Amino acid sequence: MSAGEFKLRSGEEARCEDVRLAMGEVLDGVADATVQSAVEAHVRTCPPCATEMNELRGVVEGVRTLSSVPPQPGAYKPVEEQVRGGAGPTADEPGFWEKLRRMFGK
């Protein structure tokens, strides 16, 4: 729990700083009812926070509409090599020349 959430839960008057920390959770629908109502009440009376909330809402909605793009073939190869420590093929994976030899039966 963030410090902002604690203050919003404690019944103190919500400060802009605390509200801004909780905006993402409210927009994602994961804030509890106390935090959500504190943020909504503050935003109704604070034009700068209302503007920020609306801008953040636009960003969240925009991200939700993004389509998923599959990676290009081989895109993960550098990552896989790093995970293996750059050691090349593993003992149970044949190297390039061995694969060619097997393909052509020589």
Contact 44, 50 (CB under 8 A): yes
Question: pLDDT tens-digit profile of 66-75?
Answer: 888 888 888 8
pTM of the predicted model as reported, rounded to 2 decimal places: 0.56
Q: Choose between 105 and 14: higher pLDDT.
A: 14
Q: What is the pLDDT of residues 15-71, one digit of tens each?
A: 899 999 999 999 999 999 989 999 999 999 999 999 999 999 999 999 888 888 888
CA dihedral of residues 14, 20, 25, 28 (deg, nearest 10): 130
Hey, where are the domains in the chain?
Answer: 3-64
The CA distances from residue 100 to 7, 33, 77, 105, in Å, are 65, 63, 19, 8
